[in-house]
Structure formats: C-alpha cells, structure tokens
Structure 1
Amino acid sequence: MLRPADGSAPPTPSAGDARPAAGTAESDADLLDAYSRAVIRVVESVGPAVVSVAVGKRMPGSQGEQAGAGSGVIIHPDGTILTNDHVVHGAGKIEARLADGTPLPARVIGTDPATDLALIRADGEGLVSAPLGESGSLAVGQLAIAIGNPLGFQSTVSTGVLSALGRALRSRDGRLIENVIQHTAPLNPGNSGGPLVDSRGRVIGINTAIIALAQGIGFSIPVDTAKTVVPELLAHGRVRRAHLGIGCQVRPLDRTTAARLGLDAGQAIEVVTLDPHGPAARAGIRRGDLIIAVNETPVGNVDDLHRNLAARSIDETLTVTVLRNGRRFTISVTPAGFAVPITAR
C-alpha cells in the first residue's frame, strides 16, 4: 500500500466517492440529445421521400385482386420509386401514398427478382427525393435508421445499428443475394421496400426481409447493388445478365475422380436441361455434361457459376471445362442476355 510522504495512513474512500461526477450525467444527456437530433434531422429530410405502396395483385385461379402493401423511397423528383420486387410482383393496380397522405397512381418500370429490387413511377413531379449514399465503406456498429410503413402505420421510424455485413439471402428466383446488410432497426411486414438510412440522411440500403422468429434482425439490400440495378431497369425493364441457357444440379464425384482432377469440392455441376437455342447448346455443351470450371476457375455449385458469370460482360467469350464420358473437354461459350437464366435443382 502506498503511503503519503509524511508517513500517515492514506484516506479511506467514502461511499460518496463512488458516485459519478455531476458532469457525467449531463454529458450522457448531451450525447442522447445529439443522437435524438441526428435522427430527427434524418427523418425531416428523408421522411417526405418515403411512400407506402398499395398493390392489387392478380391471383391465379381467382377473380379480383388480393391487396398487398409495402414501402418505397422516391429517388428522383419525377416520381421514380425504388422498392422490393416481391412488393410489386404480380401487381395489377399500384398506388403510392406520400407521407402527407396524397395518393398517386403508379406503374411498374422494371423488376429484378435476383436482387429483390424494383422500380415504379408515380404520377407526380417535383417530388421530394432521397439521396443515395454508398455501402462499400459501411462499418458494423454505425447508426441505421429504417423508415417505412409497417403493418399499415405510415411514416414509422425505427433505429438500430449495423450488426453485420456481407450476409447472403436467397431471392425469390433462387439466386443468392450477396453482401446483404444485417441491422437491428426493428422491421415488420410493410417495411419491405423502405429505405435504410445513415446518420447523414443518405440511403444505404433497401429493407427486404425479416426473420419471423428472430428478435430485431433485419436485412437490407445494399445501395451499391441498387446503383447497378437501377440503370438497367430504367433502360430495359430488367437486368441483363450473362446466361448459358442451362438447368443444373449438383452431382457428387467419386474420390478417385475428384483427386485426379484436383477438385477440392468433390462435386460438379450436371447439365440436366438445355435450351436448344441457348448459348451453351450452340457451343456444343450437352445434357449430362459435368461442368467443373469456368475460365479455369473451379465451380462446384450453381452459386459459383452465377458469381463467375456475374463478373463477365454479356457477349464476352469464356471457356467452360466439362467432363463427358470420363473425358475432359474445354468448350468456348459466348453468354447472352435476356433469355432463360441458369436454373438449379
């Protein structure tokens, strides 16, 4: 025990010494006030650009339409609205309702089931729009603000933090959506299509799904993905992706064959269906072929194949390595767009 220089005993701490300084409580209050002011500023600037999307959906085998609802965010003053594909899928009549309650008829511009994103356009002009940020430099722990219309309650705000980055979800058409943002801002049915916003009022994602039995886990398609999809939807109504025109399933390989070929995955992609007019058929790929590599990069499942094609431009010739009757062939294929995509079993 250290003693004062004069040799006397050190003072005994009192109960009062354990209490926080008076300034600490004031500092905490100041921090909470700053947090509140940041959220309020974001809501005041972005809130008017968030719309509720009411959809009449045509149901197969039934008369009339079933009502559906979601959210969206205006990204251009001409009424262009970014939302989820699943919100407007099968839509008949669409109505976008502004934050002030003004209803505007809307129509679908384009959809992309592979990323669960869609564009609609409301009949309006000079509308308040939200700026798109960027998601490449997001960090776990930063503030996230979700604005939408959960359970029909318009202009609802919830806050949380980014809890994970780089998640993956399956889209409605079975493709893997990668680099998905996970956050803790509470979401409910109806939030789908609404924006996830940072503390500066920039859209960093489009909320797309919740896990029903989880507590406070939400997911958002990153805005960088939306930035690549939106121009395609505006120009073509859909996203042009390189495709081969095949249907596939994973086929295990025996250990001897896998070892001989140096395949760590121990499996290949079997071609089970073939579009007779597609790029793969024209190049000479046959039903029953086992695809093991694209441009000499091993592929062991359909997700690997999708990733490889996504990194290529349409009409860019690539090499596909296949096994056929125990022999290895390398076939040059030129993928195309706008046709039947790769499907998996």
Structure 2
Amino acid sequence: MGANDAVLLDAYSQTVSDVVERAAPAVVAVSVTHGAQHVGSGSGFLYTPDGYLLTNSHVVRAGGRTSAKNLGYRVSLADGREASARFVGDDPDTDLAVLHVDPISTGALPALVLGRSAGLKRGEIAIAIGNPLGFEHTVTAGIVSALGRSMRASTGRLIPDVVQTDAALNPGNSGGPLVNSRAEVVGVNTAIIRGAQALCLAVAVDIASWVLPQLMRHGRVQRAYLGVGGSTIQLPRRVVSALSLDGPGAVRVDAIEPDSPAARAGLREGDLVIGLDGQPVASVDGLHQLLDGSRIGREMMLKLLRGSMPPEVMYLRVQPSARAPA
C-alpha cells in the first residue's frame, strides 16, 4: 500500500468514525412482545428530541403475527438506557412505522436529522447502523450502489425510489438508518436480497418525510380508494395506434366491490382503465401512485376502454373515498 492509499484509507475511516459517533446515540434496538412472549425485534432511530422514532412496519407488526395495537414495545439506546414505547402508526405500503418513547422516563433523547434522498448519487458513502442478528448497535459501511429501484411491500404495492446499497445488512437491521457522510438519514433499511451478496435496500428518506406527518396525525397514511381489483395488461399495437393512446399499458378491471366509488361510477368488470384525471394509467402500480390522499372526495374523470375490438373510449366521473384502515 502506497502513502497516498494510506492517506485515503485513513480519511475514509475517519469519516465513518465521525459519522458513527454523531449518529449512533439516536439508534435503538426495538424488542416486540405479545403478552409475556417475545415475538420480534429490529432497529429504529429517534428523529425528534421528544421521543418519536422511525422503524419498519414489519418490525412493529412482528412479521404480521397480530395487530400492532396488541403488541408491546421496548427500546434500548446505545448508552444502555431502556424504555417502553407506544405504537403511533404505521404504513405497510411503504414499510414504515412510528413509535413514541416517553422522554420523562429516559431523560434527554438524541435525534437524527432527516436529510434528502433526491440529491443522492451513486458512489456516495452509505453507513448503516442497527442490530443485525441480535448484535446491538453494529455499524457497516459501503456506498450507494443504485437509485430509483422499487420493491414490493407486504401489501403488494410497489415502493418507489428505493435506495440500493452494499452496506452489509442482516435480519435485525430492519428499521435502522442509512446515513450519509454528514450523519443525515438518507434511507430506512428495510430488506436484504437473500442469495445475493452486497445487495441491500432502503426506503428513501424523501418517502419517509412524506409518510411521517400523516402517521403522527392520523396513525396511517390516507390514500384514495376506488374499490376495484385489477391487473396490468398490454394493449395490442393496432388499438394503441388507432385510438392514439399514450402507451400500450392499461389496468383491466377484474372485480368491483359493491357500493364502492367504482361501482357507483358505473365501472364494469372487463373495462380497461387507461387514464385518471388527465394522467395516463399504464399499470396497477401507476394507478396506486395516482390515488393519494389529495384525491379523496374529489370528483375526477376515469378514461377507459370498453367493448370489443376496437374498444370504445369512455369517460366516467368517479369520486374516490378514503381507504378503510387495515
């Protein structure tokens, strides 16, 4: 190793060490109990000095064994302090959850700063802190390997803009922070790809920043609800060309719930949804992303194809409602 290599390695080590010193005090181990039984564990981190912490939905739900409201939570800080925590809310669609630690029982609490993931670049330093395999407050470091990935949540929805890193993660890291060289949170570690090496995923902090206020206010994320079951299909080229459509993708309506907004609007099984309020719909995931809380109770226009080839272009007025809590 040459002198320059040694200097670079020392600078990298110093950066990681400084970040860990600043960030680690706010990282907690989360223990989940059901009655007297220990049913799960994971990681989390405090993001407000009054005790709110962010973790994964699959951590607080202990792998889906039971409702989070029936579970108990205890957190351990890096300095050895322990405290109970209460469930505030979670969003399984983004695999994020909020717990609250009573600051009176623990004294002053450290907190991490939520950064921005929009400005991340491949090759940036990425540092993960968590509790893999029960080894509390473990640090791993690597780089941001890729951006703009997507992954399926347990609900089947697609989580967009996932950050891929090669910082080593193991079971128990879930819910811990992925931080940059300024000790700012840029992601929430959520998944490892079994069978792959150095391929780990984190929910982007910009997604978390959108979810957090809703969890703290409502206990869940409010999303618009149509009441349809559908599947993504590809339209024949001749149909796309003849009707001058935006693209070949569409959502085929496979089922309609009784007395739902879709049923009241006159949607039928077999209809092909291709647009919502002037925006193209090319897939089920695209429709999900359009149905955010801003559309609840607001009349919109569904663009669809109905009938035999060539199908007829139709428009239906629909007024999405709030989705019932899970």
Task: Calculate the TM-score normalised by the size of structure 2.
Answer: 0.88
Partner of 2:2, secondary structure, is helix
Aligned-pair CA distance for 1:252: 5.4
1:134 & 1:265 partners in 2: Cα distance? 32
What amino acid is aligned across from residue 337 of structure 1 in structure 2?
A
Aligned-pair CA distance for 1:299: 2.3
What are the superposed Cα offsets for residues 232-276 of structure 1, whole Å, 9 maximum, x if unpaired?
000000001122121112355555544433457545322222233
Select the residue among 212, 230, 247 that pairs with 1:230: 212
2:290 is the alignment partner of 1:308: yes
Larger radius of gyration: 1
What amino acid is aligned across from residue 58 of structure 2 in structure 1?
H
Equivalent residue, structure 1, for 2:88: 109
Aligned-pair CA distance for 1:83: 0.3
2:27 is the alignment partner of 1:50: yes
Aligned-pair CA distance for 1:66: 5.5
2:98 is the alignment partner of 1:119: yes
Aligned-pair CA distance for 1:47: 0.4
Select the residue among 187, 205, 211 that pairs with 2:187: 205
Q: Is the 8 A contact 1:57 1:68 kept in 2?
A: no
Equivalent residue, structure 2, for 1:336: 321
Aligned-pair CA distance for 1:287: 3.3
Q: Is the 8 A contact 2:103 2:109 kept in 1?
A: yes
Partner of 1:34, secondary structure, is helix
1:67 & 1:265 partners in 2: Cα distance? 47
2:150 is the alignment partner of 1:165: no
What amino acid is aligned across from residue 317 of structure 2 in structure 1?
S
2:46 & 2:142 partners in 1: Cα distance? 23
2:154 is the alignment partner of 1:154: no
Select the residue among 111, 115, 120 that pairs with 1:138: 120
Provide the identity percentage: 47
Equivalent residue, structure 2, for 1:278: 260
List runs of 5+ in structure 1 lacking aligned partners. 1-23, 59-63
Q: How many equivalent pairs are there?
A: 313
What are the superposed Cα offsets for residues 149-194 of structure 1, whole Å, 9 maximum, x if unpaired?
0000011000000010000101110111111000111000000000
What are the superposed Cα offsets for residues 93-124 of structure 1, whole Å, 9 maximum, x if unpaired?
21111112322111210100111100011223
Question: Judging changes above 3 Å, is the alpha-carbon distance between structure 1 residues 254 and 25 closer, same or farther for their aligned structure 2 residues?
Answer: closer
Question: Judging changes above 3 Å, is the alpha-carbon distance between structure 1 residues 194 and 100 closer, same or farther for their aligned structure 2 residues?
Answer: same
Q: Is the 8 A contact 1:166 1:178 kept in 2?
A: yes
Q: Is the 8 A contact 2:75 2:85 kept in 1?
A: yes
2:90 & 2:293 partners in 1: Cα distance? 21
2:100 & 2:78 partners in 1: Cα distance? 16
2:252 & 2:37 partners in 1: Cα distance? 40
Equivalent residue, structure 1, for 2:54: 82
Select the residue among 32, 35, 41 that pairs with 2:9: 32
Question: Judging changes above 3 Å, is the alpha-carbon distance between structure 1 residues 160 and 267 closer, same or farther for their aligned structure 2 residues?
Answer: closer
Q: Is the 8 A contact 1:245 1:340 kept in 2?
A: no
Deviating beyond 6 angstroms after TM superposition, the runs of 4 or more aligned structure 1 residues are none
Over aligned residue pairs, what C-alpha RMSD do you find?
2.3
Equivalent residue, structure 2, for 1:6: none
Aligned-pair CA distance for 1:314: 2.9
2:203 & 2:79 partners in 1: Cα distance? 27
Q: Is the 8 A contact 1:114 1:177 kept in 2?
A: yes
Equivalent residue, structure 2, for 1:94: 73
2:301 is the alignment partner of 1:319: yes
What amino acid is aligned across from residue 51 of structure 1 in structure 2?
V
What are the superposed Cα offsets for residues 55-84 of structure 1, whole Å, 9 maximum, x if unpaired?
1259xxxxx755211100011122111000
Q: Is the 8 A contact 1:283 1:332 kept in 2?
A: yes
What amino acid is aligned across from residue 338 of structure 1 in structure 2?
R
Equivalent residue, structure 2, for 1:182: 164
Q: Is the 8 A contact 1:243 1:340 kept in 2?
A: no
